[in-house]
């Protein structure tokens, strides 16, 4: 079954599908075009499954539904409930959200009838993955968390690992980078400690190492990211899985970029097979272009950024990492060269992605409100409900202590070759880079944008919101909101003092908007707190001088 998936962030959705489906050893076969609907009755369950797997959802949807409908009917007629469960889980992938939910509910009900919690956990993972790929990240998060707790309670290790891999991916994409690292390290710990319980241990390990290296990269642990990437690349060579070889090379190239080894980054990224996944290729081009830009090779950088733009056009402009930086650079280049058409085009794309990011920010907020805690190894039978409730109650009371201790022990145990723990301090190389870029942003008066959020500014600087918040706190000893407010106040006081003659003609609401304030009241209050005068009183005094 060829999935119509274009929503990819660091290849997460592609690898999620790999874990949840390919790991289960389902083989793809070619469809026999001579088979007619009337011939389906002569096919076995296995042959029906092979036909379903070979169908293209986009071009063969009617054919696929005919096979699935017959498959469901046949399973019911023969009272083969596990076969029926399998078809329900597959059916969701060819359906819109509302109908997919109905088939998922049918699958879940059937697992209760079968009294099979392992099958229930697998169905939840399947539907959670579907929800994620439908941009229902918060609902996906809840669904897979349910699968995680269920798998943990019945000691179904494979379900725990697959659930944690997806949970970590969602956390990583939606602003919870450090939690993502904790989830991913827990997944790796369980996988390596219970390798004999996994039918496809090496393939699952291959994905888990890939995700772990990305998590380390996201929090600035470059050396650890490289260590896991090299380990995973060695395994990918052993298993001869080209897609993962490419994925690990992309990670290594990105790590070199963030370590300011721009020539090394270009060398490794340039040697990755150009027939790779299109959106992975856009990542490659972006980091090559960014490396060229850092070395002041502006024309080369722009040529690579234009290649990324060409790819995004073919994919109907999906959200990818660093997209605002990409189009800001292209826009600046168009302005410098007086290319009016390109200038309008890139500005429209910036506006589009800005609106898209606002929707993503809402999803980030939803996910941040969902409670999820990693579970300790269970010693109490899951059937003993009162005792389990007591354990959960104690865990809630001690959650901060557990998280701190567990994060420390997990990271000490798994980071190679150097033992480094996640520090509250930003690595100095990253801090220096961010401070320089923050200074440039201040010089461009980016703080005058009324809608500049912490997430948006972090994206402009090529970092995450957690690092940005910590950077501001460590450097200026203030919060993000106070930092922005102070910049606006400092600028408006100086600007009004210097340009009072020209600004006297403007209304208070116009001045407020000029200086990044969303209301006249907040503008007047901020100015008076700083100077002791209202802006109108100040301008009046200047006029009388």
CA distances from 426 to 172, 359, 471 (A): 18, 29, 7
Angle at CA of residue 46, ends 44 and 47, nearest 5°: 65
- Beta bridge pairs of residue 2: 56
The CA–CA distances, whole Å, from 56 to 23, 143, 276 equal: 20, 27, 20
**Coil, helix or strand at residue 2:** strand
SS (H, E, C) 304-320: HHHHHHHHHHHCCCCCC
Does residue 147 contact residue 121 with C-beta atoms inside 8 Å?
yes
DSSP letter for each residue of 7-63:
--STTHHHHHHHHHTGGGTPPP----TT--GGGGGG--HHHHHHHHHHSBTTTSHHH
Q: Considering only CA atoms, which of 183, 194, 192, 126 is closest in space to residue 156?
A: 194
Inter-residue contact 84 to 76 (CB < 8 Å): yes
Distance CA 102, CA 108 (A): 10
Interacting residues of 306 by C-beta distance below 8 A, sequence separation 6+: 330
Nearest to 363 by CA among 177, 174, 180: 174
Q: Would you identify the CATH topology of the domain 428-544?
A: Arc Repressor Mutant, subunit A (1.10.10)
Residue 194 DSSP one-character state: T
**Residue 141: how many other CB atoms lie within 10 Å:** 24
User: Got the DSSP string for 370-428?
Assistant: S---PPPPP-S-TT-HHHHHHHHHHHHHTHHHHHHHHHHHHHHHH--SS-----SSPPH
In whole angstroms, what is the distance from residue 331 CA to residue 336 CA? 9
Question: CA 489, CA 479: separation in Å to the nearest integer?
Answer: 15
Q: Which of 252, 279, 280, 278 is nearest to 267 (CA)?
A: 252
* Local confidence pLDDT in tens for the 545 residues of the chain: 333 332 333 334 334 434 443 333 333 333 444 566 667 777 888 888 887 777 665 567 777 888 888 888 888 988 888 888 888 888 888 888 999 999 999 999 999 998 899 999 999 999 998 998 887 888 889 999 999 999 999 989 999 999 999 999 888 887 788 888 999 999 999 999 998 888 889 999 999 999 999 999 988 899 999 999 999 999 999 999 888 888 899 999 999 999 899 999 999 999 887 565 787 888 899 999 999 999 999 999 999 999 999 988 887 777 777 888 888 899 889 888 898 888 888 888 888 877 776 676 676 677 776 777 776 544 333 334 343 343 334 343 444 343 334 433 433 333 333 333 333 455 566 677 788 888 889 889 999 998 888 888 887 887 776 678 778 888 888 888 888 988 988 888 888 888 877 787 788 888 888 888 888 888 888 888 888 888 888 877 776 65
What pLDDT is recorded for position 30?
A: 39
Beta carbons of 446 and 473 less than 8 angstroms apart? no
d(CA 448, CA 491): 9
Q: How far apart are CA 227 and CA 156, in angstroms?
A: 29
């Amino acid at each position: 079954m060829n999935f119509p998936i274009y929503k990819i962030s660091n290849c997460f959705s592609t690898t999620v599908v790999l874990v949840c489906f390919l790991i289960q050893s389902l083989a793809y076969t070619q469809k026999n075009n001579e088979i007619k609907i009337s011939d389906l009755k002569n096919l076995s369950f296995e042959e029906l499954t092979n036909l379903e797997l070979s169908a293209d959802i986009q071009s063969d949807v009617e054919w696929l539904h005919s096979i699935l409908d017959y498959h469901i009917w046949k399973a019911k007629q023969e009272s083969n409930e596990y076969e029926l469960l399998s078809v329900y889980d597959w059916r969701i992938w060819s359906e819109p959200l509302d109908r997919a939910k109905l088939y998922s509910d049918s699958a879940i009900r059937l697992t209760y009838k079968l009294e099979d919690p392992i099958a229930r956990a697998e169905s939840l993972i399947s539907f959670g993955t579907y929800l994620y790929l439908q941009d229902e990240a918060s609902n996906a998060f809840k669904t897979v968390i349910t699968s995680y707790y269920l798998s943990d309670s019945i000691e179904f290790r494979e379900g725990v690992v697959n659930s944690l891999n997806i949970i970590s991916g969602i956390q990583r994409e939606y602003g919870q980078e450090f939690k993502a690292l904790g989830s991913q390290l827990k997944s790796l710990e369980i996988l390596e400690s219970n390798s004999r319980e996994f039918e496809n241990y090496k393939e699952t390990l291959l994905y888990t190492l890939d995700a772990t290296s990305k998590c380390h990269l996201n929090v600035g642990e470059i050396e650890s990211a490289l260590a896991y990437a090299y380990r995973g690349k060695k395994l990918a060579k052993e298993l001869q899985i080209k897609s993962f070889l490419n994925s690990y090379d992309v990670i290594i190239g990105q790590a070199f970029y963030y370590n300011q080894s721009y020539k090394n980054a270009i060398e490794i990224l340039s040697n990755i097979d150009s027939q790779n996944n299109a959106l992975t290729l856009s990542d490659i081009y972006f980091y090559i272009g960014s490396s060229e830009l850092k070395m002041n090779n502006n024309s080369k950088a722009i040529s690579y950024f234009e290649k990324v733009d060409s790819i995004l056009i073919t994919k109907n402009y999906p959200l990818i990492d660093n997209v605002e930086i990409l189009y800001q650079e292209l826009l600046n280049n168009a302005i410098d060269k007086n290319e009016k058409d390109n200038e309008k085009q890139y500005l429209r794309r910036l506006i589009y992605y800005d609106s898209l990011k606002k929707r993503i920010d809402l999803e980030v907020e939803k996910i941040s409100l969902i409670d999820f805690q990693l579970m300790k190894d269970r010693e109490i039978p899951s059937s003993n409900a009162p005792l389990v409730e007591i354990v959960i109650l104690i865990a809630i009371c001690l959650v901060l202590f557990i998280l701190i201790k567990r994060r420390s022990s997990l990271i000490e145990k798994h980071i190679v070759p150097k033992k480094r723990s996640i520090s509250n301090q930003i690595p100095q190389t990253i801090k220096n880079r961010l401070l320089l870029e923050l200074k440039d942003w201040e010089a461009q008066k980016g703080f005058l944008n009324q809608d500049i959020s912490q997430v948006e500014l972090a994206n402009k600087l090529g970092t995450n919101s957690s690092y940005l918040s910590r950077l501001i706190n460590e450097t200026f000893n203030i919060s993000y909101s106070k930092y922005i407010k102070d910049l606006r106040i400092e600028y408006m006081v100086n600007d009004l003092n210097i340009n009072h003659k020209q600004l006297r003609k403007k209304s208070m609401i116009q001045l407020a908007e000029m200086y990044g304030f969303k209301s006249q009241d907040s503008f007047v209050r901020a100015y008076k707190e700083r100077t002791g005068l209202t802006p109108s009183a100040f301008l009046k005094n200047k006029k009388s001088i």
